[in-house]
Amino acid sequence: MAQGKLPPGQEWVERPIVYDIAAVPSVDLATFRLRLCGAVAEPVDLSWAAIAALPLERVVRDFHCVTAWSVRSVAWEGVLTSELIKLVRPGADVRWVLARGRDGYTTSVPYDGFSRPDSLVAVRMNGEILPREHGFPLRLVIPSLYAWKSAKYLDAIEFRRDLLRGFWENRGYHDRGDPWLEERFHEGTS
């Protein structure tokens, strides 16, 4: 998890390259909800006001995309996943989350990566409101895993006991995706 170091097979670039499977979805903050559901004691739909009332933290981390670019020291501000975990109290047998974006994107994230102390749902990036194309108003950020796990336009997090693969995981990308171990693809796929 070393910061300022390049994982194997990566190259530094100046800024994150935007990747979207579909058009950037629109949003109305008045009706926006973040749904936290699945194998939890207290499922909840958080309004924008409810999210804004949670403690904000700043996390500065390198950001590594599986297509071989890395960006140094991206500054994210938002709500740590540990706060969301306190709210919903996932079952002891939860092993995965499925994160969903309003564009229909999904990604499966191992719970031990999701729950790391530097994982968050970000509302700001490099000192500005999260730009539209980087996931406005809210994106998941899992700095310890490849960037495809950091779902933009986030609208739901489902806590799960079993793996339900997301968009890229269904297309051969790794279930965990640790850049330091170069976990780019599933075993047995190219």
Ligand X SMILES: Nc1nc2c(c(=O)[nH]1)N[C@H]1C(S)=C(S)[C@@H](COP(=O)(O)O)O[C@H]1N2
Binding site for ligand X (CB under 6 A): 16-21, 65, 101, 103, 105, 134, 147-148, 150-153
By a kind-dependent CB cut-off of 5 to 8 A, residue 101 interacts, out of Mo ion, ligand X, none, with ligand X
Rounded distance between C-alpha atoms, residue 184 and residue 156, angstroms: 25
Q: Closest distance between ligand X and the C-beta of residue 168, in Å?
A: 6
Q: Which two three-digit tokens encode residue 162?
A: 């079993």
Pairwise CA distance, residues 123 & 125, whole Å: 7
Is the Cβ of residue 69 or residue 82 nearer to ligand X in the bound state? 69
Minimum distance from CB of 132 to ligand X (Å)? Answer: 10
- Select from 96, 148, 153, 167 the one that contacts Mo ion (CB under 5 A): 148
The residue (of 46 and 140) whose beta carbon lies closer to ligand X is 140
Q: How far is the CB of 146 from Mo ion (least distance, A)?
A: 7
Q: Tell whether residue 69 is a contact of Mo ion (CB under 5 A).
A: no
Helix (H, G, I), strand (E, B) or coil at 134: helix
Query: Which are the contacts of 55, defined by CB distance < 8 A and separation ≥ 6?
Result: 79, 80, 83
Distance of CA 26 to the CA centre of its chain: 19
Pair 16, 74: CB distance under 8 Å:
yes
Q: Give the binding site for Mo ion (CB under 5 A).
A: 19, 65, 148
